[in-house]
Structure 1
């Protein structure tokens, strides 16, 4: 079975869409499918990362018009026999999907916004806050299959291994700083400057992606602090999350990863499409949101860190709440069965 995944990464979009699609693609490949990615060559794309994971990846020229994007995609699909197109992209909606439908048997959409129509046969939304799920009734075909809720979380296998070793946090002595794969608003360095104002010494793991614009400053800060370590473009994030007592991060897909491992977090919104995830996570008591990046100051971050250190009970409740949201069972195989025709 041939399956195409249309998704993108960039400095603005981040890497979350591509990374969760890679998780799904690897499981589909294990079950015998051939997976082809189609990605735009946006600044900060992950085309080489996808290829390094063993997948064919076709690139298209970036465009801001849906029809041009659809036509470029169709030019690739014409030479293939495709059973499914899987779409994980906030800029794609039913217009694009109807344009490419003649070139595939079925369409799957991964979404967590519920803010536009989709012409799909299968919808996956594992958003923490389920209050918007009813909105899909008017946004997708009535006969489309809906996989909704946190049990359908797309996580790499190492997160399920780390979950077995994760415990409820009861103190804030070890901090993980990770603002996503791109850190588009430069929050990492701001957090490190805030840590210089914190009275208590704590261990710090700092994670950044390749070609971070402030990499030299971040590495220099870590070199100057014996209790700090800088990690670049790593493949062991689950281990770092499991080892940490609390985290500071963005509100993208890493929100789910942290919560799955019971890791409390201070969250900074670095893109507008993170608002729903952040609001839902805060309402469930698993994060403390500082708001949009442009309103967050070094002083604000310092105060939040000190609050976590001084109030271990709140940290414990946050960790317990996070653990309670997600089942330990990996339902990734169930998702692939829906795609590949199993029961």
Structure 2
């Protein structure tokens, strides 16, 4: 068996798709399955910028329309019925997925909202709470389902790092994704300064953030105590020492949960809403929906109130401990292994 990942990362779409594919690739590699990533040329620097990158890279033809990808795969990738092809991008329509289903490999899809009509895939992965109520039995009736929080993928670093007790945590951590496509990091720092936040702040971002120079300039001219962490390669350690974290509500929320982090999640895209609401219902985080407005006044006010409320942070951390589940990797691996068994059985 070989595994191929068709995904993307860019300043516009961020790194969320790439990172969850990378988590799956790590666990498949641990089973001696060769993993290759098929990405647009613009995504390659985002892959190679990772210190823990250990996978083959196959660049797509420059500016290849998705409608032509089936032909490109047929001509350039030696897929067999033993292989799996993992798809993760919001640009992949139901029509695109149906065309890729004609390839001989088993098809695995990362999904968030079940809003693409018919899904001709072998496995659907949606780790959001409540994913099993989104109707995949209608859109993907023949698929295996990895739905809900018991199927949350974690990268290796989050399986080996030990969460610290609250008294040993001392920073407000801000992480708005690998590229911060909404440009929220600088807005948050400015509002923290305006409201005279007094605690130590740690901003995690990357060299691909288009506002990085403005952020650097701001941090040198503010009274905030700000540590700027660029291209972080040990995010688990950062999270395990975070007293309170402000994060975009992408897949990093599952990593925050694994590190028992009291968290404020910002919903910045439609696909994030369901998972964020499910997480808030568990009691370990608070959610702000900023899809319509980028005003950070209420967000920072809420942060400050939580920062000062030791008992609330303790209760949020306790809720995170109760709901953290680090066995999702194993469950997804078992599901993929069943595909191989079914193929050998002739089903």
Q: Which residue of 2 aligns with 1:105?
A: 105
The question of 1:153 aligning with 2:181 is answered: no
Deviation at 1:206, TM superposition (A): 0.8
Q: Mind listing any 5+ residue stretches in structure 1 that lack a counterpart? A: none
| Cα displacement string for residues 151-210 of structure 1 (whole angstroms, at most 9, x for unaligned residues) | 221111221222x3333x479952001100010121111111112133452111111112
Paired with 2:177 and 2:26, the residues of 1 have a C-alpha distance of 21
The question of 1:192 aligning with 2:189 is answered: yes
| Cα displacement string for residues 275-327 of structure 1 (whole angstroms, at most 9, x for unaligned residues) | 22223223333322222255132422331222112333332332222222222
Give the secondary structure class of the aligned counterpart of 1:182. Answer: coil
Give the secondary structure class of the aligned counterpart of 1:245. Answer: strand
Number of residues of Structure 1 aligned to a counterpart in Structure 2: 337
Contact 1:193–1:298 (8 Å) recurs in 2 = no
| Cα displacement string for residues 216-246 of structure 1 (whole angstroms, at most 9, x for unaligned residues) | 2322333455732111111111111110111
> Are the structure 2 counterparts of residues 270 and 73 from structure 1 closer, same or farther at C-alpha, using a change threshold of 3 Å?
farther
Paired with 2:121 and 2:209, the residues of 1 have a C-alpha distance of 36
Give the secondary structure class of the aligned counterpart of 2:74. Answer: helix
The question of 1:71 aligning with 2:71 is answered: yes
Q: Which residue of 2 aligns with 1:124?
A: 125
| Cα displacement string for residues 10-31 of structure 1 (whole angstroms, at most 9, x for unaligned residues) | 2232101111111211221221
Paired with 1:98 and 1:309, the residues of 2 have a C-alpha distance of 48
Deviation at 1:4, TM superposition (A): 1.2
Paired with 1:201 and 1:50, the residues of 2 have a C-alpha distance of 33
The question of 1:88 aligning with 2:88 is answered: yes
> Are the structure 2 counterparts of residues 36 and 245 from structure 1 closer, same or farther at C-alpha, using a change threshold of 3 Å?
same
Paired with 2:50 and 2:156, the residues of 1 have a C-alpha distance of 18
Deviation at 1:62, TM superposition (A): 6.7
**Larger deviation: 241-250 or 305-314?**
305-314
| Cα displacement string for residues 244-286 of structure 1 (whole angstroms, at most 9, x for unaligned residues) | 1111121111111112222122222332322222232233333
Paired with 1:213 and 1:100, the residues of 2 have a C-alpha distance of 34
Paired with 2:87 and 2:274, the residues of 1 have a C-alpha distance of 20
> Are the structure 2 counterparts of residues 55 and 2 from structure 1 closer, same or farther at C-alpha, using a change threshold of 3 Å?
same
Q: Which residue of 2 aligns with 1:262?
A: 260
> Are the structure 2 counterparts of residues 165 and 287 from structure 1 closer, same or farther at C-alpha, using a change threshold of 3 Å?
closer
Match of 1:336 among 329, 333, 338: 333
| Cα displacement string for residues 95-131 of structure 1 (whole angstroms, at most 9, x for unaligned residues) | 223322343231111222222231111222211x215
Give the secondary structure class of the aligned counterpart of 1:12. Answer: coil
Give the secondary structure class of the aligned counterpart of 2:181. Answer: coil
Contact 1:39–1:47 (8 Å) recurs in 2 = no
Paired with 1:256 and 1:62, the residues of 2 have a C-alpha distance of 34
Q: State how 1:132-281 maps to structure 2 within 5 Å.
A: 132-142=132-142, 144-162=143-161, 164-167=162-165, 169=166, 173-224=170-221, 227-281=225-279
> Are the structure 2 counterparts of residues 211 and 122 from structure 1 closer, same or farther at C-alpha, using a change threshold of 3 Å?
closer
Q: State how 1:242-321 maps to structure 2 within 5 Å.
A: 242-321=240-319
Superposition TM-score, scaled by structure 2 size: 0.86
Q: Which residue of 1 aligns with 2:345?
A: none
Paired with 2:155 and 2:224, the residues of 1 have a C-alpha distance of 31
